[in-house]
């Protein structure tokens, strides 16, 4: 089994945990604050990851160039935008539709990978991405009466458009982080991923911290009151990002994110086995399509 596969599976699991923590935080603070905790509480963990790699191994810190800083900064701001839009979707009554559309990230990452890095994707990988995205779309309209009108209304709804925008931002960030990490050229994929993560988080914490000092100072007090859950979100988010960055250093970002759709299966497993909620036949069919897409990706991608 290629190393990027178990790393991606771990990243998807941890991202699911981080998302659950951020949903909880959205009730205790504004969208900006819930977005910031992922980065502000994640930076110390990222610094620990990088320090451990440098101390425990015979590694030297690579020297970043302009290409690294450019792509790391682009990825950082795109990730802020994607996270903000995703958390904002929780304010909608039917946020699941918008969240589902944000899962078009692999397809959008394939497009941006072609534009930014001239990286093509195999027919097998494109097929896998299409199958998985179809599964996500099916889940997105699981509670609507199946009709062309409802499908069109679902696509054009504000939460769906915000979800597509979130997926676009995440697609740009994924490809940008891969480009930044690859530009370092060594010493190994773990150190490259850790340094890229630290650089991105420094940009994100600085930018969002200054914004909050200027416009939303009250968010700092709300974050302080919810520091335990914020710490969980930061730890899970930083570790998930480290895993994503490692996987995307080893493999095409679109392919990694396509396998990352397994996060949706983790979500439904929690819904059924922990929260004892019922899911519809369409949701089951969507999960099966996502699973099929993953199988196709692993064997033909």
Angle at 107 between CA 263 and CA 158, to 5 degrees: 80
Distance CA 142, CA 279 (A): 9
Which pTM was predicted? Answer: 0.87
**Cα torsion for 221, 225, 227, 230, to the nearest 10°?**
-80
Q: Is the peptide bond before 25 cis (omega within 30 degrees of 0)?
A: no
**What is the percent of the chain with per-residue pLDDT over 70, rounded to a whole number?**
87
pLDDT digit string, tens, across residues 129-168? 888 878 877 776 666 666 666 666 566 667 778 888 999 9
Least Cα distance to 181 among 105, 253, 119 occurs for 253
Task: State the number of CA atoms in the 13 A half-sphere of 294 facing the CB.
Answer: 19
Instruction: Provide the 10 A C-beta neighbour count for residue 83.
Output: 26
Is the model's pLDDT at 97 over the cut of 70?
A: no
Given this model, what pLDDT does residue 152 score? 62
**Domains in the chain: boundaries:** 4-300
Least Cα distance to 67 among 187, 181, 197, 186 occurs for 181
Alpha-carbon radius of gyration of the chain: 19
CB-based contact 156:50 (threshold 8 Å) = no
Which residues, in sequence order, are CB contacts of 3 under 8 Å at separation 6+?
250
Least Cα distance to 255 among 208, 297, 197 occurs for 297
**What is the percent of the chain with per-residue pLDDT over 90, rounded to a whole number?**
45
Tokens of 115: 């534009």
Which residues, in sequence order, are CB contacts of 93 under 8 Å at separation 6+?
none
Helix (H, G, I), strand (E, B) or coil at 60: coil
Distance CA 164, CA 174 (A): 15
Which residues, in sequence order, are CB contacts of 245 under 8 Å at separation 6+?
177, 181, 192, 193, 194, 196, 197
Between 179 and 294, the higher pLDDT residue:
179
Q: What are phi and psi of 122, to 5 degrees?
A: -65, 160
Query: Average pLDDT of the chain?
Result: 85
Residue 186: left (phi > 0), alpha (psi -120 to 50), or beta?
Answer: left
pLDDT digit string, tens, across residues 199-222? 999 999 999 999 999 999 999 999
Mean local confidence (pLDDT), 209-238: 93
């Amino acid at each position: 089994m290629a190393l990027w596969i178990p790393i991606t599976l771990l990243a998807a699991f941890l991202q699911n945990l981080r998302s659950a923590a951020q949903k909880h935080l959205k009730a205790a603070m504004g969208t900006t604050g819930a977005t910031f905790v992922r980065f502000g509480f994640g930076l110390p963990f990222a610094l620990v990851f990088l320090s451990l790699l440098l101390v425990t191994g015979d590694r030297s810190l690579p020297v970043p160039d302009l290409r690294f800083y450019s792509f790391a900064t682009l990825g950082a701001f795109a990730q802020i935008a994607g996270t903000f839009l995703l958390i904002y979707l929780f304010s909608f009554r039917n946020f699941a539709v918008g969240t589902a559309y944000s899962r078009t990230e692999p397809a959008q990452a394939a497009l941006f990978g072609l534009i930014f890095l001239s990286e093509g994707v195999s027919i097998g990988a494109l097929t896998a991405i299409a199958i998985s995205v179809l599964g996500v779309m099916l889940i997105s309209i699981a509670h609507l009466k199946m009709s062309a009108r409802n499908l069109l209304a679902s696509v054009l709804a504000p939460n769906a458009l915000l979800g597509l925008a979130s997926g676009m931002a995440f697609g740009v960030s994924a490809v940008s982080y891969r480009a930044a990490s690859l530009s370092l050229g060594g010493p190994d994929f773990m150190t490259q991923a850790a340094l890229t993560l630290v650089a991105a988080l420094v940009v994100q914490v600085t930018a969002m911290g200054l914004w909050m000092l200027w416009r939303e100072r009250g968010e700092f007090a709300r974050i302080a009151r919810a520091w335990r859950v914020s710490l969980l979100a930061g730890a899970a988010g930083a570790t998930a990002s480290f895993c994503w960055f490692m996987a995307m250093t080893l493999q095409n970002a679109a392919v990694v994110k396509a396998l990352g759709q397994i996060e949706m299966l983790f979500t439904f497993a929690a819904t059924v086995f922990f929260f004892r909620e019922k899911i519809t036949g369409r949701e089951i069919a969507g999960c099966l399509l996502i699973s099929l897409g993953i199988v196709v990706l692993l064997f033909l991608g």
